[in-house]
Chain A
Amino acid sequence: MSDYVKMWEDLGMDLETHDALCQVLPTAFGDVYLSQENRPEGMGFWDFVVSEIHGIRPSELIEAQKNGQKVFGTFCVYVPDEVVIAANGIVTGLCGGSQFWVPGGEKVLPKNTCPLIKASVGARLDRTCPFFRIADIYVGENTCDGKKKAYEILAEDVPMHVMDVPQMKRPEDIERWAHEIEIFAGVVEEQTGNKVTVEKLNEAIKIINNKRKALKRVYDARKADKLPISGKDALLMMQIAFFDDPVRCAEMCNKLADELEQRIADGVSVFPEGTKRILLTGTPLAIPNWKLHHIIETSGAAVVCEEMCTGTRYFENLVDEEQTTLEGQYKALAERYMKNNCACFTPNEGRIDDIIRLAKEYKVDGVIDVNLKFCSIYDTEGFFVERALKEAGIPVLGIETDYTDSDAEQLKTRVEAFIEMLG
């Protein structure tokens, strides 16, 4: 990493501990990513971003803050970026995906909290992630119990606004969510000092829709029989989409998609013929959680799609761009966001339908339902997921894991056995 020490110091980071993280990341990235063959050239952008992950984007954000822009840190795909962008604010994702931060979270959280929450809290409290330092305000949401309570702890250390996400999807819930978005807009206006207007919001809606379309183009390329990109690379693009500037993100994804479409036309693939195609479904894979993708793709199969928040849930469904009043726009946003199917909703049959649909669209041979340890809602929903898949004649493997490497061997055995089972 280039010399960002001064910036990290100014952010009040714990440099010594942070150094340890900076030392392991490049090796991990090299082992998992750079060892792949014939990667699309377009991945160069994301490789570069990772190589400077705690430097390049953070310094952009700090520059923006100097120009009066505010940075909003978010943890969930229900929080509407559009509203922030309409008020000239910036959104950055804040989910922790490394074991490195977990012990920090365990200082204040119960042991049986999911690693994503522990890592996120640890990254803030231990002052080892610049993004967690830079954000002017965090936006939490009432989704799972673990997060809900963790936000109360974080709120003692950082300004926090929590959005009340409904837990059902009846018409009145969607209306209530539109109202929540309106309240959020008020908070955003206050923070930024800028008004959210119809024009501005419309522009923002288009920006985020374009980003969604671009991400989708890359995913669509993964439907091809000859896979032009590995699952690992697609995941990396997806993970960084949460941090990057949305316009640049769309541009880079479109460029990558151009290349992938050309590869498909030329019959170029990164996997040998007959490689088994896997759909992953379950809890989010926050950066740098590449564990399962790596195990799968070094065991003779390929990940072709992720039905996850770091996956299709992030880009499927667009917001209506034709609204002419703020009220209409908030409603349109609410409708789009409520099409997300997270296990914190009841019932959540939409997700089961999505999984079956995606399994067909991406022509998968099997599905792996992977959930973070101690995430009880996804774990419980796994019952329906596995039953529905079995009924549809699609092989499924359920896995529970965390951020440590201690189960890597066992996971490898399970995954390999599953792939052998696919024939």
Chain B
Amino acid sequence: MYYIGIDIGSTGAKTAVLDEAGRIIDTFAQPTGWSSVDTAEAIRKTLVEKGFSPEEGKVVSTGYGRVAVPFSDKTVTEITCHAKGATRIFDDSDICVIDIGGQDTKIILVEDGFVKDFVMNDKCSAGTGRFLEVMANTLAMRPDELCTLAKSGGNTSISSLCTVFAESEVISLIGRGEKKENIAFGVVDSIVKKVAIQAKRIYRPGVRAVLTGGLCECDYICEALSKELKTEVTTLPEARFAGAIGAALLAM
């Protein structure tokens, strides 16, 4: 028997497989296409190829495409799954989880392993992975390149909160001949500030803060967030799969 967690987010779909003992035996990611239904089918195929037929395991799906997975036994929201996954990955039951997703940014306060409180950004995409993606595109870079470059920049701020306006701000900065690393700095700074404001609504000093989701491979985001929140924000490579791992744990 194995337990499968599927997290279909707005830009990427993550899958995690656990064995009977709850050990993580596989994780994989694929892009979310136009339709979550097609994505779910692609995941099913990959699972079968890897020898984890969904029919023989227990499946929990999460993320905004959670209802589009016909072979899942249960759906659970990404809030609960991220909390569950993060407590496992960071081996701590009292944490503040910061998840910068493609479309939503969530801050989740976990106490004794349970969600105590959470906030999610509203409709707009400021302070999300989407914002980063759009800006990276404008700068003809990959998002991870932009993050790395931001570390060596400074002294630039993007004042618009709206992605569309911020994009034209970036374009005019390019036009003015502003250095690329400074623009990158401005972009990351804008995201981090927005996320930090959200986090401060529920963050309690002393609680360990961790970063999950798509942006956790970028050290500089952690660094900048730590500065803004005045506490060390840590992450781990598996944290990218927190939602999927949490879902798999909830399948047990």
**Interface residues in chain A, defined as those with a beta carbon under 8 Å from any beta carbon in chain B:** 390, 395, 400, 406-407, 409-410, 413-414, 416-417, 420-421, 423
Q: Tell yes or no: B80 within 8 A of A by CB.
A: yes
A390, A395, A417: residue with the most chain B Cβ atoms closer than 10 Å: A417
Knowing A420-B115, A421-B114, A421-B115, the reply to whether A413 touches B77 (Cβ < 8 A) is yes
Partner of B79, one of A390, A395, A407, A420: A420
Measured between beta carbons, the chain A residues less than 8 angstroms from B94 are: none
Is B104's CB under 8 angstroms from A420's CB? no
When the two chains form their complex, are residues B120 and A414 in contact, meaning their CB atoms are under 8 A apart?
yes
Say yes or no: is B52 at the interface (Cβ < 8 Å to chain A): no
Write out the residue numbers on chain A whose beta carbons fall within 8 Å of the beta carbon of B7. Answer: none
**Pairs A–B under 8 Å by Cβ, sample size 9:** A406-B123, A407-B122, A410-B123, A413-B77, A413-B79, A413-B120, A414-B120, A417-B78, A421-B79
What chain B residues lie within 8 Å of A409 (beta carbons)?
64
The chain B residue with its CB closest to the CB of A400 is B122
Chain B 74-87 near chain A by CB (<8 Å), digits 1 or 0: 00111110000000
Q: Is B118 located at the chain interface by the 8 A CB criterion?
A: yes
Q: Which of B65-95 contact A (CB under 8 A)?
A: 76-80
Interchain CB contact under 8 A, B118 and A421: yes
Residues of A within 8 A of B120 (CB): 410, 413-414
Assembled-state Cα–Cα distance A407/B104 (Å): 12
Query: Complex formed: what's the CA distance from A51 to B114 in Å?
Result: 45
B interface residues, Cβ below 8 angstroms from A: 64, 76-80, 104, 114-118, 120, 122-123
Known: A395-B117, A413-B120. 6 other contacts (CB 8 A): A410-B104, A413-B78, A420-B76, A420-B77, A420-B80, A421-B118
Closest to A407 in B: B123
- Inter-chain contacts of A407 with B (CB < 8 A): 122-123
Report the bound CA distance from A417 to B114 in whole Å. Answer: 12
A416 contact set on B, CB distance < 8 A: 77
Which of A407, A409, A410, A423 lies at the interface centre, i.e. has the most chain B CB atoms within 10 A of its CB? A410
- Complexed CA–CA distance, A298 and B114 (Å): 23
| CB < 8 Å A-B pair total | 39
Contact yes or no, B123 A417, CB < 8 A: no
CA gap between A1 and B115 in the complex, in Å: 48
Would you call B80 and A421 a contact (CB within 8 A)? yes
Across the interface, name the chain A residue whose C-beta is closest to B106. Answer: A417
Q: Which residues on B sit within 8 Å (CB–CB) of A413? A: 64, 77-79, 104, 120
A417 touches B115 (CB 8 A): yes
Residues of B within 8 A of A406 (CB): 123
A395 to B115, CA, bound (A): 11
Report the separation of the CA atoms of residues A414 and B78 in the bound assembly, to the nearest whole angstrom: 9
A203 → chain B, closest Cβ, in Å?
A: 49
User: Smallest CB–CB gap between A291 and chain B, Å?
Assistant: 14
Most chain-B Cβ atoms within 10 A of its Cβ — which of A400, A407, A414, A423? A414
A404: nearest residue on chain B (CB-CB)?
A: B123
How many Å lie between the Cα of A210 and that of B122 in the bound state? 42
Docked complex Cα distance between A321 and B123 (Å): 49
| Chain B residues, Cβ within 8 Å of A410 | 104, 120, 122-123
With a CB–CB cut-off of 8 A, which chain A residues contact B77?
413, 416-417, 420
> A407 to B124, alpha carbons, bound, how many Å?
10
Which residues of the partner chain A approach B80 to less than 8 Å between Cβ atoms? 417, 420-421
In the complex formed, the residue of A with least CB distance to B75 is A416
Name the CB-closest residue of A to B103: A410
- Complex: how many Å from CA A413 to CA B64? 8
Minimal Cβ-Cβ distance residue in A for B118: A417
A-B pairs with lowest CB-CB distance, top 10: A417-B79, A417-B77, A421-B115, A420-B80, A416-B77, A413-B77, A407-B123, A414-B120, A420-B77, A417-B80
- Give A81 Cβ to nearest chain B Cβ, in Å: 37
Q: Which residues on B sit within 8 Å (CB–CB) of A395?
A: 117
**Bound CA span A239–B117, Å:** 32
A390 to B120, CA, bound (A): 18
Separation of A292 and B144 alpha carbons in the complex (Å) = 38
- Nearest chain A residue, comparing its CB with the CB of B80: A420
